[in-house]
Amino acid sequence: MRYKYRRYYLYYLGRIAAFLVYLLPISAGSGLAAFLGRCVFYLLPEYRDITIDNLTRAFANEKTPSQIRHIAVKVFENLGRNASELINFPKITKDNVDRLVKIEGMSIVDESFARGKGTIILAAHMGNWELTGLVFRIKGYPGQTIGKKIYFYKYDNWLNGLRRAQDINVIYRDESPRKMLRVLKDNKILGIVADQDVDSVEGVFVNFFGMPAYTPIGPVALAKVTGASIIPVFVVREGRHHRFIIEKPVELVDTGNKDADIKVNTQRWSDIVESYIRRYPEQWVWMHRRWKTKNEV
């Protein structure tokens, strides 16, 4: 019961903090949020230790302990900035979005739409990934995104309210796959963030930073059924601005062996995600237990 009430206290405290951040200019709020993120690094030892442990596993032969700790602090700062920008979603419009985000490769998405088979936008939990759906909606591209329902309904309602302010609508990942297929069959965008170990969804083990990592097969499975393109998109933070990088569609292998093809193609997009994380390690969510599921084979 004590923890139940604590959720409410933390929720309303967060709403008050969010209101104060919203009163500030976006750049000022982002700077304050980065400072608060750094504070969280020191106040939450469990997540700090997970972050440092994961970074050490990934870069043990490439970076020193001091370099890894520096990256870990920056990870928390980036998440603080993300939260500040999410709070300020209602301020972002078609008139100012290009000052906040520099888009590279939108013609790739246009070419996918011209095919008429739907477009899977494959994002990662790096930079400010929440801006992915916002940019596409502001630019007039129809679609929906797949998301996880947050354990406490008030947080979930608040987050989705911020998304809906920009007409970003979520399909929860435990809902019927028919909803996801319908989006693609209607030649719209389906946004998927699939770079985490989620044991409640079907996945395969692929190589990720030299270690087997349980990875969702959803993007490849949906693409195989519908013929949709899988287009990786990364929102990379650069100071007070962002680069919105649209990669070429993943070239899918089709040998007729369904299981083998799913594994090979999942590895292909995972390699692309890993390449960006290696370039911008301070912008990925290392506090997630990416290698928690063990391969028993």
Q: What is the DSSP string of 101-151?
A: EEEE-HHHHHHHHHHTS-EEEEE-SBS-TTHHHHHHHHTT--EEEEEPPPS
Cα–Cα nearest to 51, from 281, 293, 294: 281
* Share above pLDDT 70 across residues of the chain, in percent, rounded to a whole number: 98
Residue 29 scores a pLDDT above 90: no
Round to whole Å and give the CA distance between 185 and 143: 11
Task: For residue 297, tell me if it sits in a domain.
Answer: no
Q: Tell me which residue range forms the domain holding 91.
A: 2-283
The answer to whether residue 31 is domain-embedded is: yes
Q: Tell me whether residue 296 is in a domain.
A: no
Residue 211: pLDDT band (50, 70, 90) is: very high
Q: Is residue 293 included in any domain, yes or no? A: no
In a domain, 291, yes or no: no
pLDDT tens by residue, 242-284: 999 999 999 999 998 999 999 999 999 999 999 999 999 999 9
Q: How confident is residue 297, by pLDDT bands cut at 50, 70 and 90?
A: low
Over residues 172-185, the pLDDT tens digits come to: 888 888 999 999 99
CA angle 89, 165, 216 (to 5 degrees): 80
Going by C-alpha positions, the residue among 24, 135, 17, 154 that lies closest to residue 88 is 24
* pLDDT of 149 above 60: yes
In a domain, 276, yes or no: yes
Domain total for the chain?
1
What is the distance, to the nearest Å, from the Cα of residue 64 to the centroid of all Cα atoms in its chain?
A: 27
Contacts 24+ apart (CB under 8 A), 40-43: 40/76, 40/79, 40/80, 41/72, 41/73, 41/76, 41/77
pLDDT at position 33 over 60: yes
**Tokens read off for 208:** 């990720």
Name beta bridge partners: 246: 233
Look up the pTM and report it.
0.91
Q: Identify the sign of the CA torsion 77, 80, 86, 91.
A: negative
Q: Nearest CA to 223 among 261, 195, 255?
A: 261
Residue 2: pLDDT over 70 = no
CB-CB contact of 53 with 75 (8 Å): no
Tell me the pLDDT of the chain averaged across its residues. 91
pLDDT of residue 4: 64
Cβ burial of 227 (10 Å; 0-12, 13-18, 19+) is middle
Q: Residue 102 pairs with which residues in a beta bridge? A: 243
290 lies in some domain? no
- Whether residue 295 is contained in a domain is answered as no
Question: Residue 188 contacts by C-beta under 8 Å, 6 or more apart in sequence?
Answer: 118, 119, 141, 142, 143, 144
Average pLDDT over residues 58-82: 96
3-class DSSP assignment, residue 30: helix
